[in-house]
Amino acid sequence: AFGAVETTRPRRLVVIFQRGAADGLNIVIPHAERQYYAMRPSINIPKKAVLDLDGFFGLHPSLAAFQPLWQQRHLAVVHAAGSPDPTRSHFDAQDFMETGTPGLKAPEDGWLNRSLRSLGEAHSPFRAIALGATLPRILKGSQPAVAMANINQFAVDGRNPKTSVAANAFEAMYDQSSDSVLHATGEETFEAVKMLKSADLAKYRPANGANYPKGRFGDSLRQLAQLIKANLGVQVAFADIGGWDHHVNEGAVDGQLGNVLRDFSQSLAALWTDLGDLGEDTVIVTMSEFGRTARENGNRGTDHGHANVMFVLGGPVRGGKVYGQWPGLDQSQLYEGRDLALTTDFRQVIKEALAKHMGNTNLAQVFPGYVSQPSRVLNFM
């Protein structure tokens, strides 16, 4: 009986992409690793400034908003994670992480779209949403998905559907569906969209004292919370945040990286706070196309690297722990003599979230050709 009750609550997966290759070594700092300080004389985060997690790793001080989530054991860290493909091209690496097929350019569809095939029939056009002007590669595919940069602009006029691209997409979805439930909810969905359209975002009051930073990312997550709380059947969602490509003057405690980390963490913490009880059924996973060089460059920045750090936040997450095998930063331990080596494939993280949280059993369809090694299972849920 308890199981039956649990399954009636809809579950959600939210994917956040840090576009530009975030510097994982200055985000979750291996402050007990002497090589870290030797390789980054001007951009290291001093021990006294690091927000310690477990005596070895600590958070950048601009991630202070993550501290309560860690202490409440809702936030987990996976270090030395990412795509195994060696490319250092932003475009190719992002592509590989969105298609879920590192090194293979063939797939047109994204893994988040493929994951929907195994999650039952769609009953809501809001089932898969991207917060942005265009649908990202990760959500392209056979399953209907919708992109919206702004709820207010997401206009659907029931009397004249030609007035809106979104309306046409919705109409096509209804026409293609043989699912009577989808047809039945069509009118309700149009009503819901009208409600969203007429709702003034400025009047929306986030719950529980949640405070979203001003700016694109904070706005995206604020709107995502609105959509989830409006009970529109959101199952998967995607948002991205740029500004991570710091080849010059990256900064240490203060500076470019610190600024984007503050926006990143405060926005995610606000989403978590705003969702309240709905957070118990939500898992948020963050990723970036690759990490950055272990050593700082001559411009007090870092160049394109390999492994990185991922965050997992959610109700069912076994947080308060750093997962994955740490490869070390000695010269012999670096990938190609310059980068943090990869010990966790990002697909392993997603696989566990899809299987254990979303109940997706057809993972070979989501990540074709990927076979995870039993020794690499993380058990963060």
Find the Cα–Cα–Cα–Cα dihedral 133, 137, 143, 149, rounded to 10°. Answer: -10
Within a domain: 1 = no
CATH code: domain of residue 193: 3.40.720
Residue showing tokens 């966790």 = 344
Within a domain: 301 = yes
Token pair, residue 61, equals: 């001080």
Owning domain of residue 326: 13-376
Q: Distance (Å, rounded) from C-alpha 273 to C-alpha 65?
A: 11
Count of structural domains, the chain = 1
Rg from Cα positions in the chain? 21
Q: Distance (Å, rounded) from C-alpha 48 to C-alpha 62?
A: 14
Within a domain: 317 = yes
Q: Distance (Å, rounded) from C-alpha 59 to C-alpha 68?
A: 12
Within a domain: 131 = yes
- Strands 12-18 and 236-241, sheet pairing: parallel
Within a domain: 6 = no
Q: Distance (Å, rounded) from C-alpha 23 to C-alpha 339?
A: 11
Full DSSP string of 165-184: HHHHHHHHHHHH---HHHHH
Q: Distance (Å, rounded) from C-alpha 40 to C-alpha 60?
A: 15
Q: Distance (Å, rounded) from C-alpha 128 to C-alpha 115?
A: 11
Residue showing tokens 């985000």 = 27
Q: Distance (Å, rounded) from C-alpha 145 to C-alpha 206?
A: 25
| Cα dihedral sign, 187-192-196-199 | positive
Residue 370's CB is within 10 A of a number of other CB atoms, namely 18
Within a domain: 2 = no
Within a domain: 344 = yes
Within a domain: 287 = yes
**pLDDT tens digits in sequence order for the chain, 381 residues long:** 223 334 568 999 999 999 999 999 999 999 999 999 999 999 999 999 999 999 999 999 999 999 999 999 999 999 999 999 999 899 999 999 999 999 888 788 999 999 999 887 766 778 999 999 889 999 999 998 888 888 866 644 333 444 455 555 555 555 554 444 444 445 555 655 665 665 555 677 999 999 999 999 999 999 999 999 988 889 999 999 999 999 999 999 999 999 999 999 999 999 999 999 999 999 999 999 999 999 999 999 999 999 999 999 999 999 999 999 999 999 999 999 999 999 999 999 999 999 999 999 899 999 999 988 888 899 999
* Beta carbons of 215 and 240 less than 8 angstroms apart: no
Phi, psi of 246 (to 5 degrees): -100, 80
* Beta carbons of 326 and 63 less than 8 angstroms apart: no
* Beta carbons of 118 and 100 less than 8 angstroms apart: no
* Beta carbons of 69 and 317 less than 8 angstroms apart: no
Whether pTM exceeds 0.85: yes
C-alpha distances out from residue 313 to 61, 74, 77, 106, Å: 19, 6, 9, 31
C-alpha distances out from residue 306 to 93, 209, 320, 323, Å: 10, 38, 25, 18
Among the listed residues 381, 370, 373, the one whose alpha carbon sits nearest the alpha carbon of residue 111: 370
